[in-house]
Amino acid sequence: MPRKNNRPDARRDANEPEIVKHLQGNGFLVERIGNPGDLLVFNYDTRHWICLEVKVPGGRFTPKQTQWRRKNPDADLPVVYTKEHALIEVNMR
């Protein structure tokens, strides 16, 4: 039976590997996910998970991402553009 690709349009942002490496180097557990965000990050100090959406500077949301954000306006899903920005967002939560 052929495998169904649930996200045929899924592409990872070019800055994601650098962000993942930086977060891991600062002691966070990082899992790559696909929905609703790109990364699921565990903060061992606060014992909390945070979901991050990674975008390259100037990157735009896909139609699915835009629709999800409209349906979930109160969801805490920060968009990060740099490794420093990602570290700040994770440490704030």
CATH topology of domain 16-92: Trna Endonuclease; Chain: A, domain 1 (3.40.1350)
What does the mean pLDDT of the chain come to?
91
Residue 76: how many CB atoms within 10 A of its CB?
9
* pLDDT at 60 > cutoff 80: yes
| C-alpha 13: how far from chain center | 10
Question: What are 28-40's pLDDT values in tens digits?
Answer: 999 999 989 999 9
Has residue 3 got a pLDDT over 80?
Answer: no
pLDDT at 7 exceeding the cut of 70: no
| pLDDT on residue 5 | 43
Name the pairing type of β-strands 79-80 and 48-54: parallel
Position 82, amino acid: T
Q: Where are the beta strands (DSSP E) in the chain?
A: 29-32, 39-43, 48-54, 79-80
